[in-house]
Structure 1
Amino acid sequence: MHITADDRLLFIGDSITDAGRDRTDPTSLGNGYVREIAQALRAEAGGAGPVPEVINKGVNGHRVYDLESRWTTDVVDPRPTVVTVKIGINDTWRRYDSQLPSPVAEFEDCLDRLLTHTRQKLSARLVVITPFLLPVTPEQESWFEDLAPRTEAVLRAARGNDAQLVRADLLLPGAAEASGAEALAPDGVHPSPRGHRLIAEAWLAEVMASHGHR
């Protein structure tokens, strides 16, 4: 299966997906990895040729439960052919800055429900981008106590629903070994332009290759 101009690619998640998009404009893609992917697809089409529709449904601050509350409207109703989900870091972050826990078992059940529901309602290909953290403070190092098992939960839910995986949790820490964490995510969470570009490149490599697309 190739990605063609007839495809509709929908991305949903938190601020990393949102990336400052204008929510009053349904065509706004923000300034992050979603826009990078759209630009790459446009360039591959020669700049003027037909390209897949790209939809950004990221909302800053959201946890997995927030995605569930809007899933039918924002994901099922638009009838996308490829659905990409990136969620999890806020479920960890809120535990530390707001004392708002998101138990990993409940988080996993919720994400699994969303992916399963999508498979039942749509014939869309599923893509899951793992959460990541590039600690820039000693305090953030402690977050891995919560994030590490949460990332494993994301992997289980994705694999259990035949989703393709973009391993941001491996990619970005690996890149940070050479460049430093702050070059890729100044606050440890939100990617820099270079960080977004790395995520976009990884998505394209995974999704295009699996579609047999070159």
Structure 2
Amino acid sequence: MLIHKGSKLLMIGDSVTDAERKRPVGEGRGEDIGKSYVAIVNALLNSACPEEQIRVINMGVSGNTSRDLVQRFQTDVLDLNPDWLTIMIGINDIWRQFDAPLRPEVHVYPEEYEANLNHMLELVKGKVKQTVLMTPVFMERNRQDEMRAALDTYIAIMKKTAERHNAMFIDVQSAYEQVLEHMHPMNIAWDRVHPNMTGHMIIARSFLKAVGFHW
């Protein structure tokens, strides 16, 4: 597995990551780590390879955009000194353009999204062993849907940014679409954004496959 023994893995993002995690830092007993893919990753690492002693921290905040992550990056990432960092962000950057169209001040357009991702990766350069960019997801089969089409633009930006900074890139949206060939999106997320446990497992599985985790 690519994550070395004794590593601290910090996973940051929006509500898909958050899922009721503890404040100020999402780790500890019970459900302190939340109920998202982060909890699944933590449980699988602890159960399948406890000898590796990998520490998993959830720093998701519901409603966050990439702009919000930049604003809290010092306290919620750099000050916690992770060895590995995953960033899964962007769906609210897109969503606010559709559910709050008359509030342009909360919109994060592609140019700013790219700048925010670049800024965060510059901040961790030389400070973490590996940064992982995980695509935002939208559970919609129709690629002509306006919001689904916008997602492709943001995913392309994330992929380009990952390549620029030698970060790992995980296309979670593609993993979702493989599953959506066999079930309706509402069977994974009632609002096409917030996943149920099946959806969270898809995210966790995508990450763990990418880092070489084996049962």
TM over 0.5: yes
- Paired with 2:56 and 2:149, the residues of 1 have a C-alpha distance of 35
Find the residue that maps to 2:86 and give its secondary structure. Answer: strand
1:181 is matched with: 185
Kindly state the Cα deviation for residue 177 of structure 1 after the two structures are TM-superposed: 1.2
1:55 is matched with: 57
- Paired with 2:60 and 2:148, the residues of 1 have a C-alpha distance of 24
Shift in alpha-carbon separation, 1:53–1:89, aligned structure 2, 3 A? same
1:204 is matched with: 208
1:96 is matched with: 98
Q: Which of 23, 33, 37 pairs up with 2:41?
A: 37
Shift in alpha-carbon separation, 1:24–1:70, aligned structure 2, 3 A? closer
Shift in alpha-carbon separation, 1:143–1:115, aligned structure 2, 3 A? same
Q: For this pair of structures, how many residues does the alignment match?
A: 206
On the 8 A contact 1:19/1:32 being kept in 2, the answer is yes
TM-score for the superposition, normalised by structure 2: 0.88
TM-score for the superposition, normalised by structure 1: 0.89
On the 8 A contact 1:21/1:31 being kept in 2, the answer is yes
Shift in alpha-carbon separation, 1:21–1:6, aligned structure 2, 3 A? same
Is structure 2 residue 132 aligned with structure 1 residue 132?
no
Alignment deviations for residues 21-43 of structure 1 (CA, whole Å, 9 cap, x no partner)? 12256412110100000000011
Kindly state the Cα deviation for residue 15 of structure 1 after the two structures are TM-superposed: 0.4
On the 8 A contact 1:61/1:90 being kept in 2, the answer is yes
On the 8 A contact 2:136/2:173 being kept in 1, the answer is yes
- Paired with 2:203 and 2:79, the residues of 1 have a C-alpha distance of 26
2:165 is matched with: 161
2:78 is matched with: 76
Kindly state the Cα deviation for residue 133 of structure 1 after the two structures are TM-superposed: 0.8
Which amino acid in 2 is paired with 1:17?
T
- Paired with 2:200 and 2:5, the residues of 1 have a C-alpha distance of 24
- Paired with 2:184 and 2:149, the residues of 1 have a C-alpha distance of 22
Is structure 2 residue 137 aligned with structure 1 residue 111?
no
Please, which moves more after superposition, 154-163 or 65-74?
154-163
Which amino acid in 1 is paired with 2:16?
I
Kindly state the Cα deviation for residue 124 of structure 1 after the two structures are TM-superposed: 2.4
Which amino acid in 1 is paired with 2:124?
T
Alignment deviations for residues 123-180 of structure 1 (CA, whole Å, 9 cap, x no partner)? 32011111111138x9x92212422211111111112111112211111022111022
Find the residue that maps to 1:77 and give its secondary structure. Answer: helix
